[in-house]
C-alpha cells in the first residue's frame, strides 16, 4: 500500500510540474469551461452595433473578438483573424498613433497597418447556442488598441460606448497645386547635376489620400543636394504616345523635402520623383535614380484653367514670396484682367536682360523662374516662364507656348504666352516686345513696345507658329 501511495504522490508531482509549464492562454481556456456568460453591449456614437455575450475572468471582462470586428467594419476599419494574429487595417488617409509602442507579452498578437502594437492572452470557448469556438479578448487591451485608432470609449461593466474618430480634414491645396512644408529657399539658386553625378532620392512617404486628389510626399536626397526635386505626374489612363503629364517642383532643405501635391488627372496616375539632370545645358530630364509609384485618382481631372494655375518645375512661383509680392504690386492699379496681363508682360520686357552671349553660343541655360526673377537675366523660355509665374501667382491662368518664331526671313525655336482673361485667350510675347540696340552682350533693351501684345490670332500666327503647351 505504501508503494502505491508513493506512486500516486510522484504522479501528482509530475502533473503539477506539467501545469506550471503550460501557457497562460491554455490555463484560461481550461478554466473558462466553468465561466458563466453575460449579455454585454457595444455602442458606436450612441448606436447599438452588437449585443455579444461577455465573460469575466480574474475580475477582467472579455469580449468576443468577432463583435468588435463587426463594429469596426461599420467605420471602414477592416480586420483579419487567423486564430493567433489580429490584423487591423485603417482606411487611407487616417493616421493611427503608432508611437511609443510597448507590445508586452501574450500568445495572441494585435497589429495595426502591419505594425505590432499589443500582445495579449485570450479565452477560446463556445459563446453562442451553435457552440462555435469563439475567441474572447480582454476589454482593457482592446480599448487601448482602439485609442491608437482615435476611437475613444468608456466601459461600465455592461456597455462599451465608443466614439468614432473625427473624419480626416479635407486636404485643401492652394491654386499652385503644391502645399510645401519645406522652408522656402528665398534667394538661393538651384544646383545642377551632370550625367556623372547621380544623387539618389529616398522616399519616406508617398501615398494616396482617400476621397481627395492629394498626395503627401516626403523624403531625402543624398550628396548634399540643395535644389528642387521633380515630381512628374503622368496620365496613364490615356494609354497612348501623347500621354499628358505635369512636373511639379519641391524644394530640398538640408537634404530633406516635404510637400503635398495635387493629382491633375482622373484615373491611373504615375508619379515619378527624382533630381533634374541637365541635358546639353538647354534641357533637363530625371536622373536614373528616381523613384515612382502608381495611384488611381477618383477625383475629376482638373480643367484647363485649373491646370494653368499650377506651379511646375519651371514655373515655381510659390517658392518665391518676393515674386508674388512684385506681381501684386505691378497690377495693383489695373482695372481689368487684360490690363493686369499687359502690366506683367511689360514689366518682364522692361526688367529682364536677354542673355545674348548664351543665345549666340546656342547654350541657353535652363533655369527656374525663381532664379530668373533673382538674376534678372534669361532667354525667351525664361521670360515667358516668369510672366506665367507672376500671372498665376495673382490667379490668372497662363500657359507657355512652345513653337517657332519667324522674323526678318529667319526662324527658330521660340516660347511665348497666352493667358485667360475670363472670356478669351490673350496672346503676348514679352521677349519680342524688347528692342535691343546691342545684341552682343546681356543687357536691358533700349526700349520696349506692345507690338506683340493681344494681337488677333491670325495676325499673331504670321510670326509665331504654335507647337505645343509644355508641361514643365
Asked whether the domain spanning 317-468 has the same topology as the one spanning 178-302, the reply is: no
Which residues in 156-244 belong to E strands, given as ranges?
A: 159-163, 178-180, 201-206, 214-221, 228-235
pLDDT greater at residue 208 or residue 258: 258
Poorest-confidence range of 52-66, 104-118, 237-251? Answer: 237-251
pLDDT of residue 27: 41
Q: What percent of the chain has pLDDT over 90?
A: 54
Of the candidates 135, 126, 132, which has an alpha carbon nearest to the alpha carbon of residue 82?
Answer: 135
Cα separation, 276 vs 316, in Å, equals 14
pLDDT tens digits, one per residue of 319-357? 999 999 999 999 999 999 999 999 999 999 999 999 999
Cα separation, 150 vs 167, in Å, equals 11
pLDDT of residue 57: 86
Of the candidates 37, 56, 31, 65, which has an alpha carbon nearest to the alpha carbon of residue 127?
Answer: 37
pLDDT greater at residue 33 or residue 153: 153
pLDDT greater at residue 24 or residue 103: 103
| Chosen CATH of 178-302 out of 3.60.15.10, 1.10.3720.10, 2.60.40.10, 3.90.1570.10 | 2.60.40.10
* Burial profile 265-275: b = 16 or more Cβ within 10 angstroms, e = fewer: bbeebbbbbbb
pLDDT greater than 70 at residue 15: no
pLDDT greater than 50 at residue 246: yes
Residue 418 pLDDT level (bands cut at 50, 70, 90): very high
Which residues make beta-bridge pairs with 428? Answer: 417, 453
Residue 268 pLDDT level (bands cut at 50, 70, 90): confident
pLDDT tens digits, one per residue of 96-142? 888 889 999 999 999 998 899 999 999 988 645 556 788 999 999 99
| Chosen CATH of 317-468 out of 3.30.70.100, 3.10.620.30, 3.40.50.11540, 3.30.70.2740 | 3.10.620.30
CA distances in angstroms from 393 to 262, 345, 398, 408, listed in the order given: 17, 14, 10, 35
Cα separation, 265 vs 258, in Å, equals 22
* Domain-wise residue ranges, the chain: 22-163, 178-302, 317-468
pLDDT greater at residue 386 or residue 59: 386
Which residues make beta-bridge pairs with 319? Answer: none
Give residue 105's Cα distance to chain centre: 37
Residues in the chain: 472
State the chain's mean pLDDT as an integer: 83
For residue 379, the 8-state DSSP code is -
Cα separation, 102 vs 196, in Å, equals 46
CB–CB of 244/178 below 8 Å? no
Which residues in 211-343 belong to E strands, given as ranges?
A: 214-221, 228-235, 245-251, 256-262, 267-274, 276-279, 283-286, 291-297
CB–CB of 182/248 below 8 Å? no
pLDDT of residue 394: 97
Cα separation, 167 vs 137, in Å, equals 28
CB–CB of 258/182 below 8 Å? yes
C-beta neighbour count of 95 within 10 angstroms? 11
pLDDT of residue 205: 63
Amino acid at each position: 500500500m505504501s508503494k502505491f501511495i508513493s506512486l500516486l504522490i510522484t504522479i501528482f508531482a509530475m502533473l503539477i510540474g506539467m501545469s506550471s509549464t503550460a501557457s497562460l492562454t491554455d490555463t484560461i481556456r481550461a478554466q473558462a469551461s466553468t465561466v458563466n456568460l453575460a449579455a454585454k453591449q457595444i455602442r458606436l456614437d450612441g448606436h447599438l452595433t452588437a449585443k455579444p455575450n461577455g465573460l469575466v475572468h480574474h475580475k477582467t471582462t472579455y469580449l468576443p473578438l468577432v463583435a468588435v470586428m463587426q463594429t469596426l467594419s461599420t467605420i471602414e476599419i477592416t480586420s483579419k483573424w487567423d486564430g493567433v494574429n489580429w490584423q487591423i487595417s485603417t482606411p487611407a488617409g487616417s493616421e493611427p498613433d503608432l508611437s511609443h509602442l510597448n507590445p508586452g507579452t501574450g500568445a495572441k498578437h494585435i497589429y495595426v497597418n502591419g505594425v505590432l502594437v499589443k500582445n495579449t492572452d485570450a479565452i477560446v470557448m463556445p459563446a453562442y447556442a451553435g457552440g462555435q469556438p469563439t475567441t474572447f479578448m480582454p476589454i482593457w487591451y482592446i480599448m487601448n488598441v482602439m485609442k491608437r485608432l482615435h476611437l475613444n470609449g468608456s466601459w461600465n461593466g455592461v456597455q462599451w460606448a465608443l466614439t468614432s474618430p473625427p473624419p480626416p480634414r479635407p486636404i485643401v491645396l492652394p491654386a499652385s497645386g503644391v502645399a510645401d512644408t519645406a522652408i522656402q529657399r528665398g534667394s538661393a539658386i538651384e544646383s545642377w547635376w551632370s550625367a556623372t553625378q547621380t544623387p539618389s532620392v529616398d522616399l519616406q512617404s508617398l501615398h494616396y489620400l482617400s476621397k481627395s486628389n492629394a498626395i503627401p510626399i516626403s523624403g531625402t536626397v543624398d550628396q548634399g543636394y540643395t535644389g528642387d526635386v521633380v515630381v512628374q505626374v503622368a496620365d496613364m489612363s490615356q494609354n497612348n504616345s501623347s500621354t499628358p503629364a505635369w512636373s511639379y517642383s519641391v524644394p530640398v532643405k538640408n537634404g530633406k523635402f516635404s510637400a503635398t501635391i495635387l493629382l491633375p488627372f482622373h484615373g491611373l496616375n504615375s508619379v515619378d520623383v527624382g533630381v533634374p539632370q541637365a541635358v546639353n545645358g538647354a534641357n533637363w530630364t530625371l536622373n536614373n535614380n528616381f523613384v515612382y509609384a502608381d495611384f488611381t485618382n477618383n477625383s475629376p481631372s482638373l480643367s484647363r484653367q485649373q491646370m494653368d494655375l499650377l506651379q511646375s518645375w519651371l514655373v515655381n512661383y510659390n517658392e518665391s514670396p518676393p515674386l508674388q509680392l512684385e506681381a501684386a504690386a505691378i497690377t495693383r492699379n489695373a482695372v481689368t484682367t487684360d490690363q493686369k496681363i499687359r502690366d506683367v508682360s511689360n514689366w518682364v520686357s522692361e526688367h529682364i536682360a536677354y542673355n545674348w552671349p548664351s543665345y549666340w553660343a546656342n547654350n541657353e541655360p535652363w533655369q527656374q523662374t525663381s532664379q530668373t526673377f533673382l538674376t534678372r537675366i534669361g532667354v525667351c523660355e525664361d521670360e515667358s516662364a516668369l510672366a506665367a509665374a507672376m500671372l498665376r501667382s495673382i490667379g490668372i491662368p497662363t500657359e507657355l507656348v512652345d513653337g517657332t518664331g519667324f522674323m526678318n526671313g529667319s526662324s527658330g525655336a521660340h516660347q511665348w504666352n497666352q493667358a485667360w482673361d475670363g472670356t478669351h485667350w490673350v496672346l503676348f510675347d514679352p521677349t519680342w516686345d524688347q528692342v535691343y540696340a546691342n545684341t552682343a552682350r546681356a543687357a536691358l533693351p533700349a526700349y520696349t513696345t506692345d507690338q506683340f501684345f493681344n494681337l488677333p490670332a491670325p495676325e499673331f500666327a504670321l510670326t509665331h507658329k504654335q507647337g505645343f503647351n509644355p508641361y514643365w
